[in-house]
Amino acid sequence: DVKVTQSSRYLVKRTGEKVFLECVQDMDHENMFWYRQDPGLGLRLIYFSYDVKMKEKGDIPEGYSVSREKKERFSLILESASTNQTSMYLCASSLGLAGRSWTQYFGPGTRLLVL
């Protein structure tokens, strides 16, 4: 089974702090994704990566950056956390173009509270 793990289930940070959310997948997937999930707004794509060091902005990239130095790891960075970034953050991966499979496998999520 594909496993996607996220570094924390719950995180509390202060406004202005730099925050790192880590995601690791163990199935050699090409694609990795970061979403945020808010009540009434569904899932919104923050960033997408289709290969090591390759990234593409999603629908709401402002205030976020990402890093993918190794294929299995995709990090989301909040450069200066703000209260409006309080949310549930979901990481996902998929096999991608090589495998012709778009099924996404999700981690358990990180619930971030910014005070």
Out of 16, 70, 108, 113, the residue judged to bind another protein by CB under 8 A: 108
- Residue 115 CA to residue 96 CA, distance in Å, equals 37
Residue 109 CB neighbour total at 10 angstroms: 18
Q: Which stretch binds another protein (CB under 8 A): 14-22, 36-44, 61-69, 70-78?
A: 36-44
Which of 33/74 has CB closer to another protein? 33
Closer residue to another protein, CB minimum distance, 15 or 101 = 101
Q: Does 56 bind another protein (CB under 8 A)?
A: yes
SS3 7: coil
Please provide residue 63's backbone torsions phi and psi, each rounded to the nearest 5 degrees: 90, 0
Contacts of 113 (CB under 8 A, 6+ apart): 10, 11, 12, 13, 86
Q: Which residues of this chain interact with another protein, rule CB under 8 A? A: 4, 31, 33, 40-43, 45, 48, 50, 56, 58, 90, 92, 94, 96-97, 100, 102-109
